[in-house]
Each structure stands twice: as C-alpha cells, then as structure tokens.
C-alpha cells in the first residue's frame, strides 16, 4: 500500500499548506477591510476633538460616495451650521455690549445738565411749598442713584469689552480694610450694627489693585450692613503662603439655599420690591466678582435664612502664584459643608 500511503500524505500535506495559506489570506483581507473602515472613523474622532477644543474651522475630508463619505458630508454641514450660529451669537453679544456702553455714555451729558438744575432747585427748596420741596429732595436722591447706576453700567461694559486693566502694587489688606470700615461706620451706626474687625495673625500684604479691592470690600461691608438687621458684623483678615482672604460675616436675613450663586448675577435681588429703593444698583456683586477674577482670585458666598451670610474674598499674594487654599473658612465651623 506504499503507493496509496504516499498519495494520502501528499493530499494531507497540500491540505495543510493550503489551509495555512488560506488563514493568512483571510487575515490579510480582514485587516485591510477593517483598516478601511476604522481609519476614517478615527479621523472623524480627531476632527471632532479639535472642533470641541474650539477650532471651529476644522472639517473632515470627503472622498468617494460610500456611507463614510456621506457621514463626512453631514458632519461637515453640521460643523458649518454650528460655526455660523456661534459667529452670529458672538456678533449679537458684541452689538449688545456696544449698545449698553454707548447708551451709558450718551446719557452722561444730559444727566450732568439735569444734575446742575436739580442741585439749584434743591438748594432753594426752602422757598417752595412743602410738597414741591419734598419733590426737590426726591429728585436729588433719585439722581444720585441714577448716577451710581450709570457709573456701574459703564464699569461693567468695560469688563465686557475686555478693557479692564489691573494696576497692582504691594498693599497691606489690613490697612485697606481698616479704611473701608472707617468709611462704613456712619452707615452702620445708622442701622445699629457694630463693625468688628478681626486682625490677621501674620502679615496680610498682597500684590493687588487697591482701587478695585477697596471697591469689593466696601460693597461687601455695605451689603452686610444693609442686610444685617442691626446685628454685629464681623470682618476678618488672614493670610497664608499663597493667599490673603477677607471674610465679611453678618447675622441678618441670610441667603436661602441656591441663592449663594445667584447673588453674583447682574441685577439679581432677593427681594426686588424692597431693594429698588434701598441698597445699591444691583450690579455691586457682579462688578466685585469681575474684579476678583481679574486678580485671579475668588469671591464666594455662603448663607442660611435667618442665620446670616458670609462673603469671602481670596486673593493670591502674587499674580503669578496660584492660590492653594483660602486662609479663612467660608462655611462656619460646626455647619455641614453640604448645607451650602
Ligand atoms: N450680606 C447679605 N445678606 C443677604 N443678602 C445679600 C447680602 N449681600 C447681598 N445680598 C443679596 O444680593 C443682592 C445683590 O447684591 P448687590 O449686587 O450688592 O446689589 P445691591 O446691593 O445693589 O442690591 C442683594 O440685593 C441681596 O438680595
Ligand atoms: Mg450692594
């Protein structure tokens, strides 16, 4: 049976070789097909990533007429439409910013004239009848508020336009807080609130823009007096290696849950009816937050209804040094963090 055995071996050998060759062939074909499908998908993913990173001009290359080419075409048209809409929104937002800034500027000239006339009337109010004299006083008070509002609007439009510049110099925050507290004393006395200053244990010097920081702290202290219901207000200053913090705490109406984030919104007020006649313009904390961000600092709020509110300003000691941790706690000790 030698003959048959040799034939069988030949058949099985050729089957084996053929099988191996077939496996390699199938593998190669599978690899080629997979590569053809996967490469465009990978390319699409990387284009999508670049789009996400803000490179709105990025597009996918379209080749052939298969399903992948159709995907690329619809992807590109989606990117086109997104880009157009974002451009439109940007243009609209610029127009609105310009409008606010222009209107504020335009209003300044007539307001100066009105102011001078109102001052004249106000000075000679003794010669008028009682209702007219009262009107003269009202006019003067409302004009004060109008001027403040206009100044705040101009300031905020400067931030929006990106024109706000930081003028830093080494400042002792404790001295600055002292000055603000001295200025706020008369108002606090009228409202019956004592202002208590807690001095820093170490030095509280930082590279900041004194005009801006003074404005932030004055706004926080005036807010605390206005919402403090006559209870004492505590102002603490403290520093660590990377940052200096100022904490203004009152024990008045406080903030309801969720309001700690809202207070920094433009024109937001907890009680719109009441605050329209007292307090500032509703832009105070919005401007303060912009000022804090300009310093790469933090401005945060915490409050509980009926318990009071705490506002903490944390500023880096130097502009090139990021804040590690704030030297003062925002949430009072003994209160759970999640109550914020
Ligand atoms: N210390 C505080 N306690 C309670 N509410 C506050 C306090 N400070 C600010 N708020 C709330 O935040 C709002 C916005 O404040 P702000 O931007 O300074 O504007 P304004 O003082 O002109 O109302 C206030 O109207 C008030 O409702
Ligand atoms: Mg205010």
Q: How do residues 303-315 score in pLDDT, each as one tens digit? A: 999 999 999 999 9
Determine the Cα angle at 174 with ends 168 and 178, to 5°: 110
* Confidence band of 174 (pLDDT split at 50, 70, 90): very high
What CA–CA distance (Å, rounded) separates 61 from 55? 16
Ligand 1 pocket check for 104: Cβ under 6 Å:
no
Spatial distance between the Cα atoms of 16 and 314, rounded to a whole number of angstroms: 77
Residue to substitute in 255, 263, 301 for testing ligand 1 pocket (most ligand atoms within 8 angstroms of CB): 263
Rounded Cα–Cα distance for residues 242 and 325 (Å):
8
Query: In terms of C-beta density within 10 A (0-12 exposed, 13-18 middle, 19 or more buried), how is residue 334 classed?
Result: exposed
Q: Count other Cβ atoms within 10 Å, centred on residue 284.
A: 21
> CA triplet 270, 273, 279: central angle to 5 degrees?
70
pLDDT value, residue 339: 46
Looking at residues 245-249, what average pLDDT do you find? 97
Question: What 8-state DSSP symbol labels residue 337?
Answer: G
Residue 170 is predicted with a pLDDT of 96
What is the 322 CA–ligand 2 centroid distance (Å)? 28
CA of 223 to the centre of ligand 1 (A): 6
Q: What mean pLDDT is predicted for residues 171-175?
A: 96
The whole-number pLDDT of residue 69 equals: 86
Q: Does the beta carbon of 281 sit less than 6 angstroms from any atom of ligand 1?
A: yes
Write down the mean pLDDT value for the chain. 91
Ligand 1 atom nearest 281 alpha carbon: 22
Written as six digits, the tokens of 57 are 């001009």
Kind plus residue range of the DSSP H or E element containing 81: helix 67-123
Query: Which ligand approaches the C-alpha of residue 247 most closely?
Result: 1
Nearest residue by C-alpha to atom 4 in ligand 1:
254
Give distance in angstroms: CA of 112 to centre of ligand 1. 28
Nearest CA to ligand 1 atom 12: 263
Lowest mean pLDDT among 16-30, 66-80, 210-224, 317-331: 66-80
Confidence of residue 64 (pLDDT cuts 50, 70, 90): confident
- CA 222 – ligand 2 centroid, Å: 6
- Taking alpha carbons only, the member of 209, 222, 135 closest to residue 168 is 209
Q: Give the pLDDT confidence score for residue 88 in this predicted structure.
A: 95
| C-alpha to C-alpha distance for 61 and 54, rounded to whole angstroms | 19
Q: Which residue has the tokens 């997979």?
A: 34
Is residue 54's pLDDT more than 80?
yes
Residue 271 alpha carbon, nearest atom of ligand 1: 27
3-class DSSP state of 308: strand
Pairwise CA distance, residues 249 & 228, whole Å: 9
Residue 244, beta-bridge partner list = 239, 315
The ligand that comes nearest to the alpha carbon of residue 276 is 1
Domains of the chain by range and CATH?
Answer: 2-86 (no CATH), 169-339 (3.30.565.10)
User: Which residues contact residue 87 at a Cβ distance below 8 angstroms, ignoring those fewer than 6 apart?
Assistant: none
> Of the bound ligands, which one is closest to the alpha carbon of residue 193?
1
Nearest to 244 by CA among 285, 280, 200: 200
- pLDDT category at 217 given cuts 50, 70, 90 is very high
- Cα 136 → chain centroid: 40
Say how far apart CA 166 and CA 232 lie, in whole Å. 33
At 60, the pLDDT band (50, 70, 90 cuts) reads confident
Confidence tier at 273 by pLDDT (50, 70, 90): low
The Å distance, Cα 198 to ligand 1 centre, comes to 23
């Amino acid at each position: 049976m030698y003959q048959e055995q040799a034939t069988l071996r030949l058949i099985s050998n050729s089957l084996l070789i053929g099988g191996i060759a077939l496996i390699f062939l199938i593998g190669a074909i599978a690899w080629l097909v997979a590569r053809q499908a996967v490469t465009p998908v990978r390319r699409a993913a990387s284009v999508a990533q670049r789009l996400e990173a803000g490179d709105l001009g990025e597009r996918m290359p379209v080749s052939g007429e298969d399903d992948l080419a159709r995907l690329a075409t619809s992807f590109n048209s989606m990117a086109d439409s997104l880009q157009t809409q974002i451009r439109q929104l940007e243009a609209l937002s610029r127009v609105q910013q310009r409008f606010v800034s222009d209107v504020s500027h335009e209003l300044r000239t007539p307001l100066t004239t009105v102011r001078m006339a109102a001052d004249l009337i106000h000075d000679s109010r003794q010669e008028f009848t009682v209702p007219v004299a009262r009107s003269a006083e009202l006019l003067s008070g409302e004009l004060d508020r109008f001027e403040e509002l206009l100044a705040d609007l101009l300031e905020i439009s400067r931030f929006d336009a990106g024109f706000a510049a930081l003028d830093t110099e080494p400042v002792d925050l404790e001295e600055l807080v002292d000055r603000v507290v001295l200025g706020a004393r008369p108002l606090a006395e009228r409202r019956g609130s004592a202002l208590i200053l807690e001095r820093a244990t170490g030095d509280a010097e930082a590279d900041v823009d004194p005009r801006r920081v003074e404005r932030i702290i004055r706004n926080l202290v005036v807010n605390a007096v206005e919402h403090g219901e006559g209870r004492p207000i505590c102002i603490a200053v403290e520093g660590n290696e990377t940052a200096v913090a100022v904490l203004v705490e009152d024990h008045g109406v406080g903030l309801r849950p969720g309001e700690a984030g809202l207070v920094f919104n433009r024109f937001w007020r907890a009680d719109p009816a009441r605050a329209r006649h007292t307090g500032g313009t509703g832009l105070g904390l919005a401007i303060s937050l912009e000022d804090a961000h300009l310093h790469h600092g933090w401005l945060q709020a915490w409050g509980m209804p009926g318990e009071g509110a705490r506002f903490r300003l944390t500023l880096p000691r130097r502009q090139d040094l990021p804040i590690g941790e704030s030297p003062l706690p925002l949430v009072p000790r003994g209160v759970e963090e999640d109550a914020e």
